[in-house]
Amino acid sequence: MTEYDMWKIFPKMPKKVSIGDITIRDGFQHEEKFISTGAKIFYLEELIFAGAREIEVTNLGNPFLMPQFKDGEELLKQMRSDRFKKRCEKKGVNYDDICFTAITIRESAVDKAIRLKEKGIGPDRILMMVSTEEEHHFANSGTTLPEYWKEVERCIKKCNAAGMQMCGTVSTIWGSPIGGATDLNDAVEFTKRFLELGAYDIEHADHDGSASAPDVYRYFSMILDAIPNPDLHVAHFHETKRVASASILASLQAGITRLEATLGGLGGQPANFIDDSPVKGTGEYYYDDPRYVGLVTLEDTLVQIDEMGIEHGYDLDRILWLGGQMEKTIGRRLRSEAIINGRTLKTGHMQYARPGLATTKRKLGEKPGQKIPQTWTKKAVLPKNLK
């Protein structure tokens, strides 16, 4: 007989996961209008109140390149304020459970994070990123891979000495939007390099939606064979072909317990235009159609995981509401289907029922709940000559 229990087929699949929110940083970085500081604070706070415990606050890189984050220090100051801590207490949120992350791709941003830490408003966790495909890495950071690894080594030492966590991101694992096909073994080796240098955890990133479910399962199985602690690994998927939900399932089946997402599936390459002005960003966009750019949506991912019976710690209804609010903030329809269709309700949607079923069954002499004619056998009997 076939085994029907997915947890027996995939014994590493978790019953509980942690889903980090990266809307304010990765989500907003691709927007070609400045999202107000007030809106950013609203979503940071409300996402935390709705269950986010790992959250990206800002990018501490040069605001000349990415003016979307010129208010980064103000956002961190708000997250460290007594006002916000009191609000957390009133909402029943343990402030000490929250991990605030800031992106620091280059050493100057790491130094800035350390200065902010010394002022009492720095992030708990910062992030540096390598791509296994060097053209993509050069487009993002402006350095060669060997040179960048030496920078990473210096920065992790500084970060650890300052009492902050360093997340090492490995990108272009399943393919590069610039250089094409990549080798999964390179990403496994880069993961080991980050940990060898003292990184706290690893984000494994599909930055252009190249991943397919079989290769996601294969890669994370390779990773967990080499480095078995699932707490060290975060799965990060972009959605460009409407197949990322399969990648999420495959990563769970392999044993991954930490994921990331954005409201509405916002995100992508840093914007090279803000409001009415061109900006440098990271150069020309490497896609042809902006409708197919972004991350997995927090709303849809939560519905998927919730309906699998996996614990996630979010107030799902609140997240669906926030997704609707985000569409108003951004000013266009975003990519979450769940904010329109909600979750599958076991009680159904009886407001759509056609009137008269019970009356019709009574007239026909049928019992409530009767689904086949009364004279038929209780169980179907298959024909012996069935092909």
Question: Band of the pLDDT at 158, cuts 50, 70, 90?
Answer: very high
Question: Band of the pLDDT at 284, cuts 50, 70, 90?
Answer: confident
Task: Read off the tokens for 323.
Answer: 């997704």
Question: Band of the pLDDT at 166, cuts 50, 70, 90?
Answer: very high
Report if residue 369 sits inside a domain: no
Report if residue 365 sits inside a domain: no
Coil vs helix vs strand at 10? coil
238-255 per-residue burial string, b: 16 or more CB within 10 A, e: under 16: bbbeeebbbbbbbbbbbb
Q: Tell me if 164 sits within 8 A of 196, measured CB to CB.
A: no
The four Cα atoms 268, 273, 279, 284 give a dihedral, to 10 degrees, of 60
Distance CA 41, CA 5 (A): 43
Distance CA 173, CA 188 (A): 9
Structural element, H or E, at residue 340:
helix 338-341
Q: What is the mean pLDDT of the chain?
A: 96
Report if residue 320 sits inside a domain: yes
Distance CA 233, CA 172 (A): 16
Return the pLDDT at 347: 86
Is the pLDDT at 286 greater than 90, yes or no?
no
Domain count, the chain: 1
Report if residue 75 sits inside a domain: yes
Residue 337: count of CB within 10 angstroms of its CB? 12
Return the pLDDT at 216: 98
Question: Band of the pLDDT at 1, cuts 50, 70, 90?
Answer: confident
* Termini Cα distance of the chain: 20
Average pLDDT over residues 345-352: 87
Average pLDDT over residues 264-286: 92
Domain range for 227 is 10-341
Q: Tell me if 256 sits within 8 A of 235, measured CB to CB.
A: yes
Question: Band of the pLDDT at 132, cuts 50, 70, 90?
Answer: very high
Average pLDDT over residues 305-313: 97
Is the pLDDT at 10 greater than 80, yes or no?
yes
Report if residue 371 sits inside a domain: no
Distance CA 358, CA 139 (A): 65
Report if residue 2 sits inside a domain: no
Question: Band of the pLDDT at 340, cuts 50, 70, 90?
Answer: very high
Per-residue pLDDT tens over the stretch 93-126: 999 999 999 999 999 999 999 999 999 999 999 9
Phi-psi region of 283 (alpha: psi -120 to 50; beta: other; left: phi over 0): left
Report if residue 128 sits inside a domain: yes
Return the pLDDT at 208: 85
* E strands, the chain, in order: 18-21, 54-59, 99-103, 125-131, 165-171, 201-206, 233-237, 258-261, 273-274, 277-278
Give this prediction's pTM: 0.94
Report if residue 362 sits inside a domain: no
> In the chain, pLDDT over 90 holds for what percent of residues?
89
Question: What SS3 string covers 87-106?
Answer: HHHHHCCCHHHCEEEEECCC
Q: Tell me if 215 sits within 8 A of 172, measured CB to CB.
A: no
Lowest mean pLDDT among 69-78, 228-237, 334-343: 334-343
Is the pLDDT at 368 greater than 90, yes or no?
yes
Return the pLDDT at 214: 97
Is the pLDDT at 291 greater than 80, yes or no?
no
Half-sphere exposure of 12 (CA within 13 A, CB side): 17
Per-residue pLDDT tens over the stretch 36-83: 999 999 999 999 999 999 999 999 999 999 999 999 999 999 999 999
Residues facing residue 171 across a β-bridge: 131
Specify the CATH number for the domain of residue 82. 3.20.20.70
Tally the residues of the chain.
Answer: 387
Return the pLDDT at 52: 98
Q: Tell me if 258 sits within 8 A of 203, measured CB to CB.
A: no
